[in-house]
């Protein structure tokens, strides 16, 4: 499973990139707004820091303007992934960009039917929002399972399932069991993956016992 981080904060990206475990970055207009920075400046900086795909989202919803924005964003860097919403206009733009070799992430996916359309439009990634479905008492992980299963029936689909709106480590583990290709999560959730109380307890005991030996490795 590829790990993307869902943030526009450079320090957070630097920190995670230094682990060697980061495969890409996703952003959205809300995360850009939260950063308080210029959209293009932040995206260029992220594209420089990370080799993998960096998702940058269009802002307009009408087809003509969205198409122009998408084509502009596509020129920003080699590893740019243009993010478009799952609407009729978004999928039209997706098809055109995908056909011309640009990576496209189709976002705001909440149904298997939408995911099927995105694959037909040649999306590089489909982003189903697990947490936001859970928030309204729908089963977000069931959607991941359905999409993975549907895509597996059609070897000519090359769209990767990018689990988005991840709120906790279980979202990641269960999606990995289902065979989802990618997940994107806030840094806090990625950090939680390291933790286990028995690791902390075991390590504390090892440190104490080692101290008692009076030895030093270096």
Residues from 158 through 197 that contact ligand E4P (CB under 6 A): 164-165, 184
- Is 12 a binding residue for ligand E4P by CB under 6 A? The answer is no
Binders of ligand E4P among residues 78 to 97 (CB under 6 A) are none
Q: Which residues, other chains included, contact 218 with Cβ-Cβ below 8 Å and sequence gap of 6+?
A: none
Nearer to ligand E4P, 26 or 98 (CB): 26
Catalytic choice (40, 83, 201, 211): 83
Phi, psi of 111 (to 5 degrees): -150, 160
Which of residues 37 and 132 has its CB atom nearest to ligand E4P in the complex? 132
Q: How far is the CB of 125 from ligand E4P (least distance, A)?
A: 9
- CA 65 from chain center: how many Å? 25
- Smallest gap, in angstroms, from Cβ of residue 218 to ligand E4P? 43
CB nearer to ligand E4P: give 6 or 160: 6
Query: Does residue 26 belong to the site contacting ligand E4P (CB under 6 A)?
Result: yes
- Give Cα separations from 9 to 26, 33, 68, 122, 198 (angstroms): 11, 11, 26, 30, 32
> Near ligand E4P by CB under 6 A, which window of 35-43, 91-99, 129-137, 208-216?
129-137
Which pair of tokens denotes residue 186?
């806030």
91-95 long-range contacts (CB < 8 A, ≥24 apart) are 91/117, 91/118, 91/121, 92/63, 92/67, 92/121, 93/58, 93/63, 93/66, 93/67, 94/118, 94/121, 94/122, 94/123, 95/121, 95/122
CA angle, 181 then 183 then 189, to 5°: 150
Query: Could you confirm whether 95 is annotated as catalytic?
Result: no
Residue 2 binds ligand E4P, judged by CB under 6 A: no
When the beta carbons of 6 and 9 are compared against ligand E4P, the nearer one is: 6
Positions marked active-site: 83
Which residues would be at the binding site for ligand E4P (CB under 6 A)? 6, 26, 28, 107, 127, 129, 131-132, 164-165, 184
């Amino acid at each position: 499973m590829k790990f993307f981080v869902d943030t526009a904060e450079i320090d957070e990206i630097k920190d995670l990139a230094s682990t060697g475990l980061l495969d890409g970055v996703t952003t959205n207009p809300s995360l850009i707004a939260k950063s308080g920075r210029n959209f293009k400046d932040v995206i260029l900086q992220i594209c420089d820091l990370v080799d993998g795909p960096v998702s940058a989202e269009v802002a307009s919803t009408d087809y003509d303007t969205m198409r122009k924005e998408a084509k502009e964003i596509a020129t920003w860097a080699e590893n740019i992934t243009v993010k478009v919403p799952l609407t009729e206009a978004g999928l039209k733009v997706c098809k055109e960009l995908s056909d011309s070799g640009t990576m496209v992430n189709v976002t705001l996916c909440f149904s298997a039917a939408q995911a099927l359309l995105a694959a037909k439009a040649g999306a590089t990634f489909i982003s189903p929002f697990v947490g936001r479905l859970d928030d309204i008492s729908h089963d977000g992980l069931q959607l991941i399972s359905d999409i993975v299963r549907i895509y597996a029936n059609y070897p000519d689909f090359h769209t990767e399932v990018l689990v988005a709106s991840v709120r906790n480590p279980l979202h990641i583990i269960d999606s990995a069991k289902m065979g989802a290709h990618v997940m994107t999560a806030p840094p806090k959730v990625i950090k939680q993956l390291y933790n286990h109380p028995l690791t902390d307890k075991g390590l504390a005991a090892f440190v104490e016992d080692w101290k008692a030996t009076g030895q030093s490795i270096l």
